[in-house]
Structures are given as C-alpha cells and as structure tokens.
Structure 1
Amino acid sequence: MRIIWAMDAFEDNKELNEKMAESLIHLFEQTRAEIEPLYLLRENEIVLPTYEVPTWVTDHSRTAESLFKEVLEDYNLPFLQEPHVIPHASQSHAGAAEVLSDYAVRTKADLIVVGSHGRHGFQRFILGSFAESLLLQSEVPVYVIGAQCNHTNGVKNILFPTEFGDHSKENFKHVLSFARLFNAEVTLFHAIARPIESLFDLDTRPKVYNFRGKMLTLEQIIEHQIEHQTQRAHHWIDWAAREGVQAGFRVDSSFQPIDKLILDSIDKDDIDLIMMEAQSGPMSAAILGSYTRNVVRAAHCPVYVFTRHFYDQQEDRFIETAP
C-alpha cells in the first residue's frame, strides 16, 4: 500500500500536523505502507509564517526539501520515505489539488492523507479549502483529518453511511478490506429519505403519498422502508462475515439532516473512522456542497472519502475483489 501525506509544512498548524502524524503511525503499524510526505510548492513562493522569507529560498525546491525535512523531524516518524516537493504554477486550490491528484495516479498511490482547518463563513470564503478542493479533484480516496478530530489513536469501529446502491457495493469492498487490516468492526448506517410530495394533504385525513404506485401514509412508507433496508443490511452483514469482518447496522427514520446524523453517530456508535462516498443517491444531489463538507469540517474522527472520480473508475486498482 502506498500513501501520500500532503502536508502544509510551512504554515503555522502544528496541532493539526500532530494529529495527522498520530494517525499515520497507526496506519503504518497496521498496513506497513510506504508513506511519502509531500509538499506542493507554489512557484516563486514559500510561506514561512514565523519570519520573513529569505531571498535565497525563493524558487529553490531543493532548499524547500531541506526545510521540509527539518519540519518533519519534529514529529518523530522514522518510517516515512524521503519527503518530496512538487513545484507548481497554479494560483488556486483547485489547480494545486489537480497537480496532487495527477501525481498520486502517476505514482500509483492508494490513499492521500490531508488535514482540514475546518474554516467557516467569511474566513473560508477568503482562504478557501485545499482539502475540499482535493475531494472534488482526486482520483484516489482521501483521508481527511480535521481540526475538530480527537480520535487518532487507531481504528476499531468504522461507520459506513450507505444507500445500498451499486457504487456502495463497490466501495463496501474497500471498507471490508480496510477493516480487515485493522481488525475493526463496521457499522452500516442508512437514513430513510422523507417522501417528496403528498397526493392528499387535508386536515381531515392523514397525508397520502404515491409510493411505488401505491397510495400509502407516511407511517406505512417508513415501515416498508425500514423492513426493506433491514433485509438489505442483513445481506451485507452476511457478506462482511464471509470476508472475516464483524458488522452491524442502524436504519434511521428521523428525517434529520444526513450530516448531523453521521456526526451524532461518532459518539453514539463509538466511531473511530467514517468511510463515506462523496456522492450517493438521495444523501445529496451534490453532496460536496453540503454533507461531505460538513462532516469533514466537524467530525471528531478521520473521514475516509471515496471521491467521485475514484468510484467512477471501472478498474479496481489496489484492493482485491470480494467474492
């Protein structure tokens, strides 16, 4: 397994870097992966927050690599490969993310580990977010450790929010493979979507919805969906058992926002890692516009994101297919 640690080496974010370093220790202990620290050097600029940038630093990637090594020494990670600096000319997060994604594909990386500051509001509008741009651009999964993360001491319980669709089946194979590496348990989580529009909405009778060609009340639809999704969940639990992974499930019918339900599950199910798809059916028409972004920003544990570019690919590049 090959992992790229995309680190903002010269920004004053030591606390976030320490969280990433702790997660990388556990990733290495369980996978013995090749882990390459990488810094994206924008041409003509190295940002050093604590003192003025010397003129001799500018435009010298070798100098940046030397400084990068010095920064990495603070984290005591002897298993890391030689740090790599990639100069690029892009002035935007999206352009830099594309450079990183191309490099990851070219070097056959299996995972990109990146930190997220979790900025909100006007600050995020001005500064943007490299992690969120990477989720849109990357062709390999992205392992995001946010500013709110406090679960970095290993992976024992994995949450996999799912719609049980075709993409979910493919991504569940990767979840099972990852769970086996860590001897972790998996919790499948499904949220039932509220019907969009009722056919009859009168004060004198319950709302009636057109559900699969039948006129049913909301309570009947919920009951039907819980039964249907529970049956599907049991099939997936059996699948996990055949792969040597213990799994359980939870079906939620509260109609609360998906991101809130996922975040609440971290404490409710004692979750150490969320593995989620960047886009999946009714969970969101454009999930990166809200749900994935909100989860990544606020999660108290790392979030492993199957990016849209990744799961749209036909070729399974690095994890064996489950029978």
Structure 2
Amino acid sequence: MYKRILVATDGSKLSQKAVEHALSLADLTGAEVVALKVVPRYPQTYFEGGVTLAASEVARIEKQWQTEAMDAVNAVKAAGQLMEVKVKPVTAKGDLIAEAIIATAKKQKCDLIVMASHGRRGIKRLLLGSETQQVLTHSHTPVLVLR
C-alpha cells in the first residue's frame, strides 16, 4: 500500500500523535518513515526599529535550531527502532513550512504525508494560519491529518 510515509514533526505533544500514527501505519504496511522537521532559514525580528543580529549570533541561533530539529527527528527514529520500523530523519530549511513539507515529500518520493492539526477555525485560523491547510491545498501527495 504505502512504501514511504513522511511525518512532519516539531517535537510537540500534538505532533507526537502524528508520529505515533505514522509509525503504526508504517508497521502495518511495511513502509519506511521519513521524519521531517522544518527549520527557519535565519532569525527574523518583527519589532519596529529592532536591532539586527551579528553574524556570529545568527550562526549560533541557526546551529541551535538545527540541533533541536535533529533531536526531534532522531526521537522519531528511536521510536521507530522500538517498533522495528525504518525511519529516515530529515531536516529542511525553509521559511514557508508547508512548501518545505511538500518539496521534501516529493524529493523523498513519499506516497503519504502525515501531520497533525490544531483544528483552529474562524478568526484564529485567519490570524495564526494553518500549515496543514496549505499542505492539503497544494500537495499532490495524499495527506492524513490528525487532530
């Protein structure tokens, strides 16, 4: 059925639900899991008149983000090993998370994307946005959304 399942994670409790489902589905179908965490390209300040960061500070922050991302995807790999499911940990840099998820799914030849959604509606969805909605709208790969 599925050969390669991409699961998007940020290490949060909500994304853990997506990870558990992706691993269970992979176990049932014999699929490989690609665990993905998207990392922003560089720190941005949104405050008017904000101070720009020194290059060394930018490098430190980017390194910290990459380390945290690897910790999140390696946690998925460890959970997969307990279930005897092959997990490939992957990080991607991008300011548009949904775009990075879709691009990684295509690059890794995934045939399913699994992700969690907060289930926001109305004004909260407009103000906070929805990466899941963007993936659902623009992906040619099937998407399984968990709430």
TM-score by length of 1: 0.36
Cα deviation digits, residues 153-207 of structure 1 (max 9, x gap): xxxxxxxxxxxxxxxxxxxxxxxxxxxxxxxxxxxxxxxxxxxxxxxxxxxxxxx
Deviation at 1:84, TM superposition (A): 0.9
Alignment check: 8 A CA contact 1:114 1:131 kept = yes
Gaps of 5+ in 2: 44-56
Alignment check: 8 A CA contact 2:114 2:144 kept = yes
Cα deviation digits, residues 184-233 of structure 1 (max 9, x gap): xxxxxxxxxxxxxxxxxxxxxxxxxxxxxxxxxxxxxxxxxxxxxxxxxx
Asked which structure has the greater CA Rg, the reply is 1
Alignment check: 8 A CA contact 2:5 2:111 kept = yes
Of 81, 84, 87, which residue of structure 2 is paired with 1:81?
87
- In the alignment, the residues of structure 2 paired with residue 110 and residue 70 of structure 1 have an alpha-carbon distance, to the nearest angstrom, of 21
Deviation at 1:98, TM superposition (A): 2.3
Gaps of 5+ in 1: 46-54, 147-323
Of 11, 16, 19, which residue of structure 2 is paired with 1:18?
16
**Structure 1 residues 103, 17: CA separation in 2 closer, same or farther (over 3 Å shift)?**
closer
Q: Give 4+ residue runs of structure 1 displaced > 6 Å after superposition.
A: none
- In the alignment, the residues of structure 2 paired with residue 105 and residue 66 of structure 1 have an alpha-carbon distance, to the nearest angstrom, of 21
Alignment check: 8 A CA contact 1:37 1:80 kept = no
Alignment check: 8 A CA contact 2:70 2:91 kept = no
Cα deviation digits, residues 248-297 of structure 1 (max 9, x gap): xxxxxxxxxxxxxxxxxxxxxxxxxxxxxxxxxxxxxxxxxxxxxxxxxx
Cα deviation digits, residues 81-116 of structure 1 (max 9, x gap): 23111011x3xxxx4322321222222110111110
What CA RMSD, in Å, does the superposition of the two structures yield over aligned residues? 2.4
**Structure 1 residues 72, 3: CA separation in 2 closer, same or farther (over 3 Å shift)?**
closer
For residue 87 of structure 2, what is the amino acid of its counterpart?
Answer: Q
Alignment check: 8 A CA contact 1:36 1:81 kept = yes
Equivalent position of 1:6 in the other structure:
8
For residue 145 of structure 1, what is the amino acid of its counterpart?
Answer: L
Question: Secondary structure of 2:26's match?
Answer: helix
1:30 and 2:24 correspond: no
For residue 68 of structure 1, what is the amino acid of its counterpart?
Answer: A
Written as runs of structure 1 = structure 2, the 5 A alignment for 1:86-235 is: 86-88=92-94, 90=95, 95-146=96-147
**Structure 1 residues 86, 115: CA separation in 2 closer, same or farther (over 3 Å shift)?**
same
Written as runs of structure 1 = structure 2, the 5 A alignment for 1:262-277 is: none
**Structure 1 residues 138, 69: CA separation in 2 closer, same or farther (over 3 Å shift)?**
closer
Equivalent position of 2:46 in the other structure:
none
Alignment check: 8 A CA contact 2:4 2:33 kept = yes
The structure where helix makes up a greater share of residues is 2
Cα deviation digits, residues 109-154 of structure 1 (max 9, x gap): 10111110001222221111110010111121111111xxxxxxxx
Give the structure, 1 or 2, with the largest relative contact order (CA under 8 Å, sep 6 or more).
2
For residue 105 of structure 1, what is the amino acid of its counterpart?
Answer: K
Alignment check: 8 A CA contact 1:21 1:77 kept = no
Aligned length: 127
- In the alignment, the residues of structure 2 paired with residue 98 and residue 106 of structure 1 have an alpha-carbon distance, to the nearest angstrom, of 12
Cα deviation digits, residues 14-70 of structure 1 (max 9, x gap): 1x233223312320221111101001111124xxxxxxxxx5652226424433246
